[in-house]
Amino acid sequence: MDATRSCRQFFNEGKGMYMEIKTLWGLRFREFYRKIFKYYAIIGANVVYFFLVIGSVSLYYLNLFIQWVPAQLSVEAISSLLLTYFLMHTRVRTFVKKADIIFLLPLEGKMRPYFAKSLVYSFVVDLIKLLCFLVIFISLFLHTTEIDILFILLILGVGFSNIFMKWTEQWLESRFQFGLHRLYRFFRFI
């Protein structure tokens, strides 16, 4: 029902079809975060304290684990496996709803800016998660703080290629193609 109302607003309001396509992504983005913030407001107060306690205990035991890890253990191999697992579980968020199949099908050719914004949004969210993961991992395992511009460009490239590969994965038709593509993504990031 929510998707139908959004599509009706899309067609009934605004001045021109192209203008509305430009504003549709922003409308969907705001709707999504309004809904998310309602859920966070309901469960957020108690959960924040829970995560603080669990996070503190986890960091303490992670520090003990890192001190226990033998020096001859290959940190690079472990880091590449963890990073690959992390990159394999990414999502491309388009904010497309079920009713869009009916209402937006005539405008399919003009939806390029909408999906471009979705890819940029997914790239930024994925990049933030990737950088947080790497900052925690590098600071805990490698004990280094030297990060140069080449490393940052490499992270940007990995994040962009990951989102692009996930985007193309959505359009694969057979399970065999999907399996081969996932296997390629896995070995590409190792």
Which structural domain range is residue 44 located in?
2-189
Termini Cα distance of the chain: 43
Mean pLDDT of 144-156: 72
Tell me the residue type at 29: F
Give me the mean pLDDT over the 90-115 stretch.
Answer: 84
pLDDT, greater one: 138 or 105 = 105
- Nearest residue to 153 (alpha-carbon basis) of 132, 135, 127: 127
182 pLDDT more than 50? yes
Token duo for residue 98 = 């079920």
Mean pLDDT of 169-175: 84
Burial class (CB in 10 A: 0-12, 13-18, 19+), 28: buried
| Interval 38-55: pLDDT, tens | 877 777 666 777 778 888
The residue that leads in pLDDT, 153 or 137, is 153
Whether pTM > 0.85 for this model: the answer is no
pLDDT of residue 121: 92
Looking at the structure of the chain, the number of domains it has is 1
- Evaluate if residue 141 carries a pLDDT over 70: no
Q: What are phi and psi of 133, to 5 degrees?
A: -60, -45
Where is pLDDT greater, at 188 or 114? 114
12-16, 51-55, 88-92, 155-159: segment of lowest average pLDDT: 12-16
